[in-house]
Structure 1
Amino acid sequence: MNEVQRFFIEETRLGIPTDFTNEGIRGVESYKATNFPTQLGLGHTWNRRLIHQVGLITGREARMLGYTNVYAPILDVGRDQRWGRYEEVYGESPYLVAELGIEMVRGMQHNHQIAATGKHFIAYSNNKGAREGMARVDPQMSPREVEMTHVYPFKRVIREAGLLGVMSSYNDYDGFPIQSSYYWLTTRLRGEMGFRGYVVSDSDAVEYLYTKHGTAKDMKEAVRQSVEAGLNVRCTFRSPDSYVLPLRELVKEGGLSEEVINDRVRDILRVKFLVGLFDHPYQIDLKGADEEVEKAANEEIALQASRESIVLLKNDKNILPLDASGIQKIAVCGPNADEHSYALTHYGPLAVEVTSVLKGIQEKMKGKAEVLYTKGCDLVDANWPESELIDYPLTDEEQKEIEKAVDQTKQADVAVVVLGGGQRTCGENKSRSSLDLPGRQLDLLKAVAATGKPVVLVLINGRPLSINWADKFVPAIVEAWYPGSKGGKAVADVLFGEYNPGGKLTVTFPKTVGQIPFNFPCKPSSQIDGGKNPGMEGNMSRANGALYPFGYGLSYTTFEYSDLKISPAIITPNQQTFVTCKVTNTGKRAGDEVVQLYVRDVLSSVTTYEKNLAGFERVHLQPGETKEVTFPIDRKALELLNADMHWVVEPGNFTLMVGASSTDIRLNGTLTVVEPGRIPTTEADKDSSPVSASTNAETANNVIDNNLTTSWEGNKGDYITFALQNGAKVDGVSIAFSRENGLDTNFEIQLSSGGGQFLTVYSGIVKEYNKLLDFHFKGTTASDLRIVLGDDRIGITEVKLPQLKK
C-alpha cells in the first residue's frame, strides 16, 4: 500500500493521496482482523453501546491496516426473508436499523479515523419475489413505503452520525435507475438530507445503465448520466480506462461541465482531508497494526457480540441449560456442527481461527463427558434447489449417514442438532424460493427426535426459517445466526448455562413463504385473514400469525414490568416527553432483558402502522434486581407522512406500549399531543430545549440551570449537544465537570455547521471538577456545539455558552 501511495504522491501531477477502500460489515475484510457476527446477528443484540464498540474496532483496525474507507454499515431494511442478502441487514424495523447504524458509524468514524460508507442507497432490499437479478430491478413498494421504510435510516444516519460515504444502488425505482437519478443522488441526498460526503457506485452499476437497464446507449452515456446525477467515485473490478477515458472525452467535448467536475472532486477531497490523508498518507506503524488486529480486548468484544446475538426460541420444560454433571455422552450432528465457512464469508475477515459449535461443545465437555459426532447430512442435497419443489427419495448414502446419527443419539443422554444455512443457501445473489430447512436437514432432525432422547436444535443461518415441525416437536431451539469466529464458544456457553441468552428477534419468522410479505411494522389487520375456524367445515383458508414475532426471545430467567409513567402526558408537536418503567428480574439467574417501546397513532388522517418501534434498551439484571428504564419521545416517534407527503405530527392521542416483544405488551399508557398554546400548564408550553444528549436526555437541561449541584452524566463516547443562535460565531465555552473518583479525564469539543457532521475543534484534559473552566479554540460560525466525553461516569454540571439558542 505504501508503494502505491508513494506513486500517487510523488509521481502524479497534483500529488493527491489515494484512498484505500475495503469492506467491513462484520470486521475488516483482511486476512487478520477481529471477526464479528454477521450484521443480522449484530442487530439481534439490540445493544447500541456494543455496536458502537464494534464500529470503533472496525474503524481503528482498518486505519491501522492502511484503509481510510470502509463499505459499512448496510442500511437496507429487511422486507422479504427469501432475499439472499438478508444476512447483511440489522433487521426489519427502520427505527432499529437507524439506531444501530448511527452507533456503528459513530464508532467507525471516531476522530475521523476512517470514512464509513452506508449502502445501498436507495430502495434496494425489496424486489419482487426477492429476486435479485443482475440489476436488482423492479422493487415492490409504494412511494410512502420508500420514505417510511427505506429513506428513514439513511436520513437519520447522515444527519445524526455525519456519514461520509454513500453507495448508490443497482436498482431502479418507478422506472428510473438510482445510479443515474439526480433526484435521489443530489436533490434528496445532498439537498434534503444535508449529505456532504462522496457517492460511490455499487460495482459495475454505471455499466448496468446500458447493459442491464437499457437507459443509456453506451458506456460514455452511462458515465455522463451518473456523474451528472451526483456520482463521485465509480466502483468496479474492471480496468479504470473504461470509465476514465469516456469521462475525459465528455469533459473535452463539453458533455460534462467543469463546474460539475469541480463539485464531484470537491466532495472527494473534503473526505480525504477529514480523514487526515493529506497529513498522514502512509501506514508506518506496522508493528502496531499487527498488535491491533490480534488484541485480546477486541476478541472479548467479538465474543460478547456473539453471545448477545443468540436468541432462545423455545425451551420446553426448561431443558436448557444442560446440566453437564448429568451427561455422560452427548451426540452432536448436523451440517453446521463442524462448519467454519459462515465466519469466513465475503465482507469480513477471511483467515481467522474459527471455533465451530462442535469444538465449543468438546472444549466445554472435556474431561466431563464423551462427545459423539457425525455430520448426518450435507447442507443441501444433490438435487437442490429443485428438491424444494420435488420430494426426491433419500439415496442409500444419505440414509446411511442419518442412521449413523440416530445410532449415536441412542447411545447419548442428549442430542444437539446443528442445522441452518450457509454460503450455498444465503448471501449476495442467493435468494431462495423456500424458507424450509434445505436438503435432508429436516429428515435428519425427525430421525434424531424419533429416538425419544432430549433434542436441542441449534440454527446457524442468515435468514428466518419456517421451522414449523421443529417448533412443534423439538423441545429446545437456539437461533445463533452466523455468530462469527467465536460463535462455537458462544453457543456452548448458552447450551450449558454459562451465558443466559438475551437476544430478541429483529425479524419475523413466517410460518410459510405463502405469508410473505410478512414483517414488522405492518398496517392494522394486514397480516391475518378473516377466517377463524380450521378444519373441513371451517372458514379458515390459510395459516395466520408469525411463527415467532418481531421482538421475541426467551431467557433462562423471568422479568416483571411495572410503574409506567409518561411525563409530561400532554405535549405540543415539537416538545419531548419521557416514558419510564421499572423492570425486575423475578427469576434465579442473572440475565438481560430488551425492553421495547412501541407507539400507535390512535386516529390519523392516513393509515399508520399498527404499532411502531420507538425505543429499546438492553438491561442486565441480577436475580431480584430492579432497574428503571427511560425512553425519550420526540416528534420523530410521532410523525406520519400526510396526504401531501409531508412529515407532520397530528394532534391527538397516541398509545404508548412497553413490552418484551411486539406481541407481548406488558404496560401501556396514553400520550396526548395538542396544538401549541393548548396545554393547560404554561410550563409545558415552552419551546423545546436547545440542549439534547445521546444518553440520559431527561437530565440534559441540568447543565443550563445555573446550579452546580445538578448534572448530566454519561460514559465514554456519550455527548451533549447545544443548538446555537442563527449565524453564531463561537470561539469558546465554559464547562464545569464532575467525577466521583476525581481522576483526570479527557474530552472533546466539536462544532457543526449543519447536516449532522461535527468536527473536533478542541481536545483537552480535565484536572479540576465542580467549577467552571474556560476553553478557547479558533472561532468559526456554527449551528451546534457538542461536548464528547472521553471516559466512563463523567458528569457535566454547568455550561456557559452566550451563543446558546434562546
Structure 2
Amino acid sequence: MSAQGTKQTVGQPFGLDTAQGRALDEMVETLLAQMTLEEKIGQMNQVAGSRDTTGAPANTDIEDDVRQGRVGSVFNAFGVEFTRELQTQAVAHSRLGIPLLFGYDIIHGFKTIFPIPLAQAASWHLEGIERAARVMAREGAASGVHWTFAPMVDVARDPRWGRVMEGAGEDTHLTSQIARAQVRGIQGRAPGATDTLAACVKHYAAYGAVEAGREYNTVDLSEWRLRSIYLPPFLAALEEGCASVMTAFNTLNAIPATCHPLLLDQILRREWGFKGMVVTDYTAIMELERHGVAEDALEASRKAVNAGVDMDMQSGYFIKTLEELVRCGAVEEARIDEAVRRILWLKAALGLFEDPYRYADDEREAECLLSDAHRRAAREQATESMVLLKNEGNVLPLSDQHKKIALIGPLGNTPRLIGSWHGNGDHDDTVTLRDGIAQRLGNGATIMCADGVSNQIGDTDTSGIEAALELVRQADAVILALGEDEAFADEAASRTDIGLPGMQLELARRVLEAAGDTPVATVLFNGRPLTLTELDGMAPAILEAWWPGTEAGNAVADVLFGDVTPAGKLPMSFPRHVGQIPVYYNAFNTGRPKGVDPKYASKYLDSPNDSLYPFGFGLSYTTFEYSALKASCSEIGMNDTLEVSLTVTNTGKRQGIEVVQLYLQDVSASVVRPVRELKDFRRIELAPGACAHVRFHITPEMRSFLNAELETVQEPGRFHVQIGGDSTQGKPLEFHVTPHCA
C-alpha cells in the first residue's frame, strides 16, 4: 500500500462519531453564514494575553480587538478572574458574541508539576503518563484554560538540542505510544467535560532533527526517513483524537514547515484525513521572511494560509493581510471559510457556545490546584521516572542508619528542580532534596549542606570545595547533587558541551577522594542526556533523577533510601562523548561494520561506537533473570502472527519492576533495515523469587516498513527477535517469513 496519496482517515477530533460531528457542523455553518470577512479573519488571529500587578488585562488593545471581533484565541491567559474578564469582552461586547479560545503551554503540569516529559518517558509506564496528563488538564481547565500546546512528539537523537527535555526521546515506537497516552489524558473521553482540555500535537514536523542540535535550525532529510521515523508519533496522536496540530519552526528540505504543502496538505489532509485545526508556533509566519521564502507580510501570509495554516500565533500577519489577499484573488475566501470552520468547530466541541465561562470555576480552581492527591501522583511518577545508571558495591539504597548526611553540590538545597516549561508552577511549592531527605530520616538525622561550587550553574568558582570536604569527612553517607540549571535545557537552550557544567566534575572528584570508605551516591538533575564518561569512571552510584517536579526532594529520598526500587529505563542514549552525536540504538549497519576488518571499518580511533548507557537501560535494587526465548514456530506466512515467550524471574531480595523489551531485526530486505527496532514492551512487577511468563505477538504490521518507493510493505525473509532489559540485551532468536502460509 503506497504511503503517498493514500487516505488513512484519523476521524473527527476527540474521536467523535459522524452524528456528533454533524450536529457541530450545523451549528458552525449557521454562524459562519452571519460573519463578515473581517470577522472570519479575526477568528484566525491568536494573540498573547498579559496581566498587570492587580490581575487585570495589561494590554487594553487586546480588549478592544476582542470587542471588534479581531481575535479568535488568546494564549498565556489563565486564572478564573482574568479569563472571565477577557471572555466577557468577546461574548457580551462583540457583534456576534463568539467566545475566545484560551490556550496555554501546559507541558508537564499546570500548578502541580510532574517530571519533565523526557523523564516521564523513562518510566515506560503509559498509564502513569496518562494520569499525569489528566492531572495537568484538570488543573488547567479549572483555571480557565481550554487548550494546551501538548503533547510534543518530536523524535530527537541529538541531546545538544535543549528541547529533548520536552519529548519522549529517540525511539519512534515509544514516542508514539506515549503520544497516545498523553492525548487520552489531556482530552479524556468527552470534549465538553470541564476537567479536560483540547490537545495540540507539535511540532509538525521533524523539529527534533535540527542540524547540530541547534534550536530553530535547518532540517534536511529524505522523505523515507521523515515518514519512517518522524511522522508516526503525529499520526498516533491524531488517531487518538488529538484536536489540533502546531507547525514547527524549522525548514524541512528547504521549505519552512509553516508553509510546507507536503506536510500540511498532502500528508495531513489528503493522506491522513485530519479535520482539525492547524496553528502556527509563535510568530512562525513572520519568520518566513527571515527564512527567505517570503518578501513581505503579504507573501508570508499567502504561503502559510494556502499551504493549510488555520490560525496565526502572535505575528498578526493574517489580521494585517488576509483581507487584501482575498480581494486581489491570491487567497480564496473559501480557504478562509475552511479555516474558520475548524476553529469554530473546536469551540463548539468544547461547549463554549453553550457556556463560555464553563471552564472558569472559582471553587474548582481553589480545590484542584496543588491538591494532596495531585502531589501524591506527582511524587509517584517522579519515583517511576528515575533511572539507576550505576550501583557498584550496592551503595544504594542508603540505610536508615545513616544519620549524618553530607549533601554536597549546587542542586542539593534549591527548589529549582521542576524544569523548564513548568506552566504556572512555583519554585516556592517545590520540595528541595535537603527537605525531602530531612523529612525521610526524621529529627534524629543531621543534614549538612554545602554547594561546593557556585550555585550559579556553570560558574567556575571552586572556593567552596574545601568547606564541602570538611562536611564529607564528618559524614556517614554522602549525596552529591549535580546537574544542569533549568535554563540549560529548554527552548533556545542548545549546548555544544553536554558534560556537567562548570566545576561540578572537579567537585565530584574531590568529594569521592575525600570520602574514602564512606558511601557516596550521585544524584543528577538534568533535562537531557549528559556525557558522563569521567563521572562514571569514578562514581560508584549514579541515580538519574532528571527534573522531577514539585515533589522532587520527597521522590528522590524515596528512591535513595529504598522505599521505592528504581525501575526507570532510558528513553534516549547517553553518549560517551559529544563527538559521537547523533548516537542512537536503532541505527543502520554499514558495509564495513566494526569487527569485520581491524582497520577499514566504521569506527572511531579514540572511542567505542556504542553509547555509555544505551537506550532502554536501567538498573534496579533487585536482579532479573531471563530464560531462553522460545517461539511458537520457526517459519510463518506473510499474514501470520508469531508468538514468542520467555520467563522473567526476580532473583534478588527486593520487589521490583522490570520493563521487558522486544526488539526486531529484518535481516535482509529491499532497503537497509536498522540493526534492531523496539516493537513492544511489558512492564511487570515481581516479588523476590517470583517469575512471570511473558508472551509477545509479532504481527505483520510489526514486520512492515517503507520501501524505496515509500510503499508500506512486508517482505518474506529472515528475522531476528531479541527480548531483554535494554536494547543491547537478549540472545537473538531467528525465524523466517515465507511468501506462503506455513
Which TM-score bucket, shorter chain as reference?
A: 0.7 to 0.9
Equivalence for 2:227 = 147
Q: Which amino acid in structure 2 is aligned with residue 366 of structure 1?
A: G
Structure-2 change in CA distance of 1:313 and 1:527 (3 Å): farther
User: Secondary structure of 1:74's match?
Assistant: coil
Counterpart check, 1:127 vs 2:203: no
Secondary structure of the structure 1 residue equivalent to 2:646:
strand
2:702 counterpart of 1:637: yes
From 374, 378, 384, give the equivalent of 2:450. Answer: 374
2:738 paired residue number: 674
Task: Report whether the alignment pairs 1:4 with 2:67.
Answer: no
Q: Is structure 2 residue 513 aligned with structure 1 residue 433?
A: no
Deviation at 1:572, TM superposition (A): 4.3
| Kept in 2: contact 1:314–1:476 (CA 8 A) | yes
Quote the residue 2:716 is aligned against: 651
Helix, strand or coil for the counterpart of 1:225? Answer: helix
Aligned position for 1:620: 685
Contact residue 139 and residue 171 of structure 1 kept, 8 A = yes
CA distance in 1, matches of 2:325, 2:712: 40
Unaligned runs of 5+ in 2: 1-82
Q: In the alignment, what sits opposite 2:377?
A: 301
Q: Residue deviations 1:482-534, cap 9 Å, x none?
A: 11111111111111111100001111111101111111321125997569989
1:565-714 matched pairs, under 5 angstroms: 565-567=630-632, 570-665=635-730, 668-675=732-739, 678-680=740-742
Deviation of 1:40 (Å): 0.6
Aligned to 2:269: 190
Show the counterpart of 1:168.
247
Contact 1:527-1:545 within 8 A present in 2 as well: no
- The answer on 1:248 being equivalent to 2:323 is yes
Partner of 2:52: none
The residue type equivalent to 1:297 in the other structure is A
SS at match of 2:488: coil
Report percent identity of matched pairs.
36
Give the counterpart letter for 1:374 in structure 2.
Answer: A
Q: Paired residue for 1:545, among 577, 591, 610? A: 610
Secondary structure of the structure 1 residue equivalent to 2:417: helix
Whole-angstrom CA distance in 1 between matches of 2:250 and 2:263:
12
Cα-to-partner distance string for 1:311-342 (whole Å, 9 max, x where unaligned): 000101111111121x2411111111122223
Shift of 1:365: 2.2
5 Å matches for 1:192-591? 192-210=271-289, 212-236=290-314, 240=316, 242-283=317-358, 285-325=361-401, 327-343=402-418, 345-351=420-426, 353-378=429-454, 398-451=461-514, 452=516, 453-524=518-589, 529=594, 540-562=605-627, 564-567=629-632, 570-591=635-656
Q: Report the Cα distance in structure 2 between the residues aligned to 1:290 and 1:580, rounded to whole angstroms.
A: 50
Give, as a single letter, the amino acid of the residue that structure 1 aligns with 2:262. Y
Note the C-alpha offset of 1:566.
3.9
* Cα distance change on mapping 1:101 and 1:505 into 2, 3 Å: same
- Pick closer, same or farther for the CA change 1:630–1:526 going to 2, 3 Å: farther
| TM-align CA RMSD | 2.2
For residue 209 of structure 2, give the secondary structure of its aligned residue in structure 1: coil
Count of residue correspondences? 648
- Considering fraction of residues, name the structure with more strand: 1
Superposed displacement of residue 582, structure 1: 2.6
Query: So what's the TM-score if we normalise by structure 2?
Result: 0.84
Q: Quick check: which one's helix share is greater?
A: 2
Q: Which residue of 2 aligns with 1:769?
A: none
Distance (whole Å) between structure 1 residues aligned to residue 224 and residue 159 of structure 2: 21
Q: Which residue of the other structure, out of 71, 77, 95, is the alignment partner of 1:13?
A: 95
User: Which has the higher mean CA deviation after the structures are superposed, 502-511 or 559-568?
Assistant: 559-568
- Pairwise CA distance, 1:454: 2.5
Give the drift of 1:58: 2.1
C-alpha distance after superposition, 1:411-432 (max 9, x if no partner): 1112111111123422111111
Higher relative contact order (CA 8 A, sep 6+): 2
Describe the superposition over 1:699-720 as per-residue Cα deviations: whole angstroms up to 9, x where unpaired. xxxxxxxxxxxxxxxxxxxxxx
Q: How does 1:708-727 map to 2 (within 5 A)?
A: none
- Contact in 1 for aligned 2:116/2:419 (Cα 8 Å): no
Query: Given the alignment of the two structures, is residue 97 of structure 1 paired with residue 172 of structure 2, yes or no?
Result: no
Give the direction of change, closer, same or farther, for the CA distance of 1:457–1:13 in structure 2 (3 Å limit).
Answer: same
Q: 1:246 to 1:568 in 2, by over 3 A?
A: farther
Shift of 1:155: 1.7
Match of 1:23 in 2: 105
Aligned residue for 2:420, secondary structure, equals: coil
Q: Deviations over 1:286-307 (max 9, x none)?
A: 2022212233222222111100
The alignment status of 1:35 with 2:110, answered yes or no, reads no
Deviation per CA, 1:565-608, whole angstroms, max 9, x where unpaired? 44576554455444433322121101110110101002111110
In 1, Cα distance between the equivalents of 2:334 and 2:718? 51
CA distance in 2, matches of 1:561, 1:380: 45
- 1:795 is aligned to none
TM-score under structure 1 length normalisation: 0.77
> Following the alignment from structure 2 to structure 1, what is the Cα–Cα distance between the partners of residues 276 and 735?
38
Q: Partners in 1 of 2:366 and 2:634 — Cα distance? A: 54
The corresponding residue for 1:52 is 130
Structure 1 position 74, deviation (Å)? 0.7
Farther-moved stretch of structure 1 (367-376 vs 268-277): 268-277
Following superposition, the deviation at residue 671 of structure 1 comes to 4.1
Pair 1:288–1:498, CA change in 2 (3 A): same
Residues 380, 440 of structure 1: 8 Å contact kept: no
Q: In structure 2, what is the Cα distance between the partners aligned to 1:125 and 1:428?
A: 12
Aligned partner letter, 2:229: T
Aligned residue number for residue 137 of structure 1: 217
Are 1:365 and 1:371, in contact at CA under 8 Å, matched by a contact in 2?
Answer: no
Matches of 1:505 and 1:526, distance apart in 2: 29
1:703 maps to none
Q: 1:464·1:507 contact (CA, 8 Å) conserved in 2?
A: yes
Q: Which moved more, 1:628-637 or 1:107-116?
A: 628-637
Can you list the C-alpha shifts for 1:636-686, whole angstroms capped at 9, x where unaligned? 321222121211111123212110001121x543443333xx214xxxxxx
CA-to-aligned-CA distance 1:183-242 (integer Å, 9 cap, x gap): 2111111111222211110101000001x2111111121111111111111112x5x4x4
Give 1:115's aligned residue: 198
Task: State the 1:17 CA deviation.
Answer: 1.7
> For residues 360-410 of structure 1, what are the alpha-carbon distances to aligned partners after superposition, in whole Å with 9 as ceiling and x for unaligned?
11222222321110111125677x6xxxxxxxxx6xxx3430111111101
Residue 71 of structure 1 and its aligned partner are, at CA, apart by 0.5
- Please give the alpha-carbon distance, in whole angstroms, between the structure 2 residues aligned to 1:652 and 1:547: 33
Change beyond 3 A, Cα 1:566–1:8 = farther
Match of 1:400, SS state, is coil
Q: Secondary structure at the match of 1:592?
A: strand
d(CA) in 1 for partners of 2:414 and 2:634? 53
Tell me, yes or no, if the aligned pair for 1:24 and 1:347 is still in contact at 8 Å: yes
Partners of 2:454 and 2:462 within 8 A in 1:
no
Matched residue type, 1:512 = H
- Corresponding residue SS for 1:405: helix
CA deviation string 1:511-561 (max 9, x = no partner): 101111111321125997569989xxx994433321111111000101122
Cα gap change, 1:539 to 1:74, in 2 (>3 Å): closer
Q: Is the 8 A contact 2:221 2:253 kept in 1?
A: no
